[in-house]
Amino acid sequence: MDLDAVTKQSALHAKPDGLTLQYGTAGFRTKAEHLDHVMFRMGLLAVLRSKQTKSTIGVMVTASHNPEEDNGVKLVDPLGEMLAPSWEEHATCLANAEEQELPRVLLDISEKAAVNLHQDAFVVVGRDTRPSSEKLSQSVIDGVTVLGGQFHDYGLLTTPQLHYMVYCRNTSGRYGKATIEGYYQKLSTAFVELTKQAFCSGDDQRTLKVDCANGIGALKLREMKHYFSQGLSVQLFNDGTEGKLNHLCGADFVKSHQKPPQGIEMKSNERCCSFDGDADRIIYYYHDADGQFHLVDGDKIAALISGFLKEPLLEIGDSLSLGVVQTAYANGSSTRYLEEVMKVPVCCTKTGVKHLHHKAQEFDIGVYFEANGHGTVLFSKAAEMKIKQLAEELEEDKKRKAAKMLENVIDLFNQVADRQVISTTDAERQAVKPPGLQEAINELVKKYRLSRAFVRPSGTEDIVRVYAEADSQENADSLAYEVSLAVFQLAGGIGERPQPAESPEQFLDDSPLFS
């Protein structure tokens, strides 16, 4: 490891004085102009991780659902997973090291992680469509090359595509070809096979309207949709030709505001969905015959998938274990539906796909979706063998039953001076600091039927997220407001005090607290 060369190159990617960042659930994420040094150093770290694992490591330049002026970076481990927790600590330490400390920190990481510095390293890099992403991606490559690592720059990719590339390269092609065409062929073939016997009312050709959040999903879905020429017609909206990334569109906007994105016209009972900026979230929605908006978020998607899988398993009397993994943000009624009606075990983990993924691996078939649309289904080897035998799909009325869940949920955020003043336990559902906050929340929850509420610090910003649900939208709004006040008073809130919502629609549209 040529530390002199690292020091010289690092001077071209100097760290701003006083800037401190933390590798959170989504990697590093902040304003793009503050990230050049972080990108360079994550290139360095990716090389060390590649050497330590003797595997290809991925680096994705994206800030997902954040505004266009933000950016971020996250590393992908050998089997397409999120970066191991111990290496998240290394990432934070390396990103925050002052220039003169950088060589020592690199040596410390190498020693603690038992990195063989003579081992070859290979890193693959992808980026989203943000204006800042190309330059920041080059900073990653600068970090890779100065430590002697080899790399392949895939250029514009969705986040799931980069995860796929890493997994393919580390399984010697057994999972699939590590190319864009290989990705399209694998997923489209599986989709067509799965839906051959699917019930479809009306036209033989299914139509899906897709809000692409003015992001990378538009470019890649436009390429991929030709592979679905039989049986699926995809119409793209918010494709980046006019609007800004994630502005008044995308999965996070639709989930938070409980209404369609701008730029898409919906007729009754049309299938519609939204990606986020890097296309690793998806949520569905539609208008019924009366014009009422219905959201099929991650909680409902998990229930639909679980029902789809559980019935044929019961019919064949198979002993494969099926379980759903949720976070504290899951709608409580979805948890009750899964456990009490569908009789499917439900586990709760901390927020973040990495936590859900790990827990889901404990089942033969593990279903996990965050309410925001992050999620997937995992199959053990035994389950893969069995699932090939299951071709029947649930009838349409059973799917509708699975989607009948309470929607009286609200999710806010409060701005605070220091988010770390709050710490939590019990999968982030109980606040242990500051003193008195959890007690205040408990007393507020007692005032409302079928209610619960919790708070947690954001992983990327100095805000505290407030979640509340109750037996009606009005009560959910009221509980969220009261909990927000408690956070503001007990956790060092800054800016304007939280204000009560005059009506659900006005609150969702106008509240400066709404995330």
DSSP string, 457-495: E-SSSSEEEEEEE-SSHHHHHHHHHHHHHHHHHHTTB-S
Per-residue pLDDT band at 285 (split at 50, 70, 90) = very high
Do 456 and 465 touch, CB atoms closer than 8 A? yes
Do 157 and 216 touch, CB atoms closer than 8 A? yes
Do 410 and 347 touch, CB atoms closer than 8 A? no
**pLDDT given for residue 393 in this prediction:** 43
∠ Cα 428 442 455 (to 5°): 30
**pLDDT given for residue 397 in this prediction:** 46
Mean pLDDT of 85-110: 96
For the domain made up of 182-292, the CATH class stated in words is alpha beta
Between CA 90 and CA 113 the distance in angstroms is 9
Q: Is residue 444 predicted with pLDDT exceeding 70?
A: yes
Report pLDDT digits (tens) over 302-340: 999 998 888 777 766 667 889 999 998 888 888 999 999
Bigger pLDDT: 379 vs 166: 166
Per-residue pLDDT band at 190 (split at 50, 70, 90) = confident
Between CA 394 and CA 312 the distance in angstroms is 9
Can you give 211-248 as a three-state secondary structure string?
ECCCCHHHHHHHHHHHHHCCCEEEEEECCCCCCCCCCC
Bigger pLDDT: 359 vs 393: 359
Over the Cα atoms of the chain, what is R_g? 23
**pLDDT given for residue 26 in this prediction:** 85
Is 456 assigned to a binding site?
A: yes
Between CA 492 and CA 450 the distance in angstroms is 29
Mean pLDDT of 149-161: 97
**pLDDT given for residue 318 in this prediction:** 64
Can you give 300-343 as a three-state secondary structure string?
HHHHHHHHHHHHHHHHCCCCCCEEEEEECCCCHHHHHHHHHHCC
Is 419 assigned to a binding site?
A: no
Per-residue pLDDT band at 106 (split at 50, 70, 90) = very high
Is 64 assigned to a binding site?
A: yes
Token pair in block for residue 264: 């898409």
Superfamily of domain 423-491: Alpha-D-phosphohexomutase, C-terminal domain (3.30.310.50)
Between CA 390 and CA 408 the distance in angstroms is 35
First to last CA, the chain: 44
**pLDDT given for residue 158 in this prediction:** 97
What is the average pLDDT value for the chain, to the nearest integer?
Answer: 86
Q: Is residue 420 predicted with pLDDT exceeding 70?
A: yes
Q: Is residue 390 predicted with pLDDT exceeding 90?
A: no
Q: Is residue 204 predicted with pLDDT exceeding 60?
A: no
Per-residue pLDDT band at 6 (split at 50, 70, 90) = very high
Lowest mean pLDDT of 28-32, 90-94, 393-397, 438-442, name the range. 393-397
Mean pLDDT of 423-435: 88
Question: 59 by DSSP, 3-state: which?
Answer: strand
**pLDDT given for residue 417 in this prediction:** 62
Please indicate whether the domains covering 182-292 and 299-412 agree at the CATH topology level: yes
Mean pLDDT of 257-270: 92
Look at residues 123, 157, 128 and name the one whose alpha carbon lies nearest to residue 50. Answer: 123
Q: Is residue 405 predicted with pLDDT exceeding 80?
A: no
Is 465 assigned to a binding site?
A: yes
Q: Is residue 456 predicted with pLDDT exceeding 80?
A: yes
Do 453 and 441 touch, CB atoms closer than 8 A? yes
Q: Is residue 133 predicted with pLDDT exceeding 80?
A: yes
Between CA 45 and CA 412 the distance in angstroms is 35
Is 53 assigned to a binding site?
A: no
Element (H, E) at 47: helix 36-53
Per-residue pLDDT band at 413 (split at 50, 70, 90) = low
Mean pLDDT of 28-36: 96
Most confident of 111-125, 200-214, 357-371, 379-393: 111-125
**pLDDT given for residue 346 in this prediction:** 95
**pLDDT given for residue 160 in this prediction:** 96
Is 458 assigned to a binding site?
A: yes
Per-residue pLDDT band at 415 (split at 50, 70, 90) = low
**pLDDT given for residue 491 in this prediction:** 87
Bigger pLDDT: 107 vs 379: 107
Is 276 assigned to a binding site?
A: yes
**pLDDT given for residue 403 in this prediction:** 43
Is 484 assigned to a binding site?
A: no
Structurally, at CATH architecture level, domain 299-412 sits in: 3-Layer(aba) Sandwich (3.40)
Fold exhibited by the domain 3-178 = Alpha-D-Glucose-1,6-Bisphosphate; Chain A, domain 3 (3.40.120)
Per-residue pLDDT band at 284 (split at 50, 70, 90) = very high
Percent of the chain with pLDDT over 90: 59
Lowest mean pLDDT of 10-14, 56-60, 224-228, 277-281, name the range. 224-228
Is 459 assigned to a binding site?
A: yes
Domain ranges of the chain: 3-178, 182-292, 299-412, 423-491
Lowest mean pLDDT of 15-19, 365-369, 412-416, name the range. 412-416
User: β-strand 452-457 against 463-469: which pairing, if any?
Assistant: antiparallel
User: Alpha-carbon dihedral of residues 280, 286, 292, 296, nearest 10 degrees?
Assistant: -40
**pLDDT given for residue 404 in this prediction:** 43
Active site residue ranges = 64
